[in-house]
Chain A
Amino acid sequence: MTKGLRETFVGIFVVVGIIVFIALYTWLSGKVFFRNTYDASVYFQDVEGLRTGDPVFVYGIEKGKVKSMQIDQGQVQVVLAMDRDVRLPEDSEFSIRSVSYVGADKYVKITPGISDKTSDVYYGTGGSLDMEALASQLDSLITTFGKIKIPDLDQAVRRISADLNKSLTRLLSMLEEPVGKIDMLAVRLDSLTVLFKGEGTVGRLLKSDELYNELRETNLALKALIEDINANPKKYINIKVF
């Protein structure tokens, strides 16, 4: 192989290497050169392991990447490189989510709002679902349940059941007397109800206006009679001796 040919091959090899390098990086990073993006600044209380380069999803479609992050006055400022075709109303919701319950990969979820205005700064709602923590808690819960021995549990349930039974029996015996009184009270209340309905003699006495009127008239007549007796006692009391 001549010297010139070898040089050409080496040149081709190195150029191919550079092209593959650029192509591979462009493909994997999803970066298209001269991609039209703008920066959106979002503040979160805690980014929970979010990393630069993590994707940003709008309605579940990847529309940006996390460009940079820095701590700013007790909060984390996350700069998102968003595609130009995505408009973010000022009432949009931003949250950090886990990709799955394994691994620590996160993404930013955006639910655009309905406002007509956009904003320079947005605030993350937080409340990300920490799947790892959740899984860990579930795991510890399962472990705790796993430690409980079934015979122990069975005995405990039996003891509680016996205690409950005893208590219920006592309670029922204590309630017997009051229940009897309540029954009597109910019977009396029933009879009172009958009275108030105007049934029976006393009921009719209670409910009848006619009797009332008659009694009133009788009372008045009696009153007039007594007055008349007082005024003219001789008219009524005629005592004759012999």
Chain B
Amino acid sequence: MNLFSAIGDFSSFFFRSIFIPWQLKHTRYRILRQVFEVGIGSLPIILIIAAFVGLVSIVQTSYQVAGTVPRYILGMTVGRMVMIELGPILTALMVSGRCASSMAAEIGTMRVTEQIDALEIMAINPHRFLSLPRIVGTFIALPVLTVIAELDALLVSGAYAHFFLDIPFGVFNYGLTHFFYAKDFFGGLVKSLFFAIVIATAGCYFGFNVRGGAREVGRAATYAVVTASILILTLDFLIALVIFG
């Protein structure tokens, strides 16, 4: 399969999963379950990762610019870094590592054990049953995780600046708030919506396409994470061109 046919197959899988009757009465609970799995399940790791993102951001920024620019510039720089790039990207990569692999493994196992075939025999659309809830659930959960991660990172970086870098929180907050642009904040969240789609679609796509046994299931999980990561970074660049370019 060459690159273009792979892109076409991946895209058509996404459209087959989304542009179908949703039958919310039956699908609703499955979507909620996925929001729970992706959102609440990933929350602890995201909080930890975001805290360290905040710490690394403030330490690195301070190391590079302290003494050459006013101290409030640190707040501005860290705020923008977290909102535009680090918050959405690292949250998406963590969710991709945690959820895309589990989706691929779960659906792949269903494929090799012929459970998906059984669904089709029972006239249940496997895309609506398996892919749609995962894509929609991730689409709801990832932006929520992203804003929580951003708040966490900013608070932790502000606290570190206050207690360890001799930059009062008021000064940090001044840089953070006085040069805030809504575009930065919403641009990051728009990114996270696209990332959610590629994470869930990659997980489901590689799960659906497993052929073989347990080994292929493991490989599908790996492919799902790798593909999702590459697509996240590619989309990050393209969205940055459109929004911030």
Contacts and interface: CB of A to CB of B under 8 A. Distances in A.
Interface of A: 3, 6-7, 9-10, 13-14, 16-18, 20-21, 23-25, 27-30, 51, 53-55, 62, 99-100, 102-103, 105, 107
A53 B182 contact: yes
Contacts of A20: 144, 147-148, 151
Interface residues of B, number: 34
A16 B149 CA distance: 12
Contacts of A25: 182, 185
15 contacts: A6-B36, A9-B36, A10-B32, A10-B36, A13-B39, A16-B148, A18-B144, A20-B147, A21-B144, A24-B151, A24-B185, A30-B178, A102-B68, A105-B76, A107-B178
Contact of A28 (B29, B35, B79): B79
Contact of A23 (B39, B79, B151): B151
A101 to B, nearest CB: 8
Nearest to A25: B185
A51 B181 contact: yes
Contacts of B141: 13
Interface of A, secondary structure class, is helix
Nearest to B175: A99
- Give the residue among B36, B43, B79, B140 with the most A Cβ atoms within 10 A: B36
Interface string B168-211: 00000000111111100100010000000000000000000000
A6 B150 contact: no
Contact of B144 (A14, A54, A55, A100): A14
Given A28-B176, A53-B182, A107-B178, 17 more contacts: A3-B29, A6-B33, A10-B35, A13-B39, A13-B43, A14-B39, A17-B143, A17-B148, A21-B144, A24-B150, A24-B154, A25-B182, A28-B83, A29-B180, A29-B185, A53-B180, A99-B179
Contacts of A6: 32-33, 36
Contacts of A23: 151
Interface of B, secondary structure class, is helix
Interface of B: 29, 32-33, 35-36, 39-40, 43, 68-70, 73, 76, 79, 83, 140-141, 143-145, 147-148, 150-151, 154, 176-182, 185, 189
A13 B40 contact: yes
A80 to B, nearest CB: 15
**What 7 A-B pairs are tightest by C-beta distance, nearest first?**
A17-B144, A28-B180, A21-B147, A55-B178, A10-B35, A10-B32, A30-B177
Nearest to B70: A100
B36 A13 contact: yes
A55 B76 CA distance: 13
Contacts of B70: 100
- Give the residue among B29, B32, B141 with the most A Cβ atoms within 10 A: B32
Contacts of A7: 29, 32
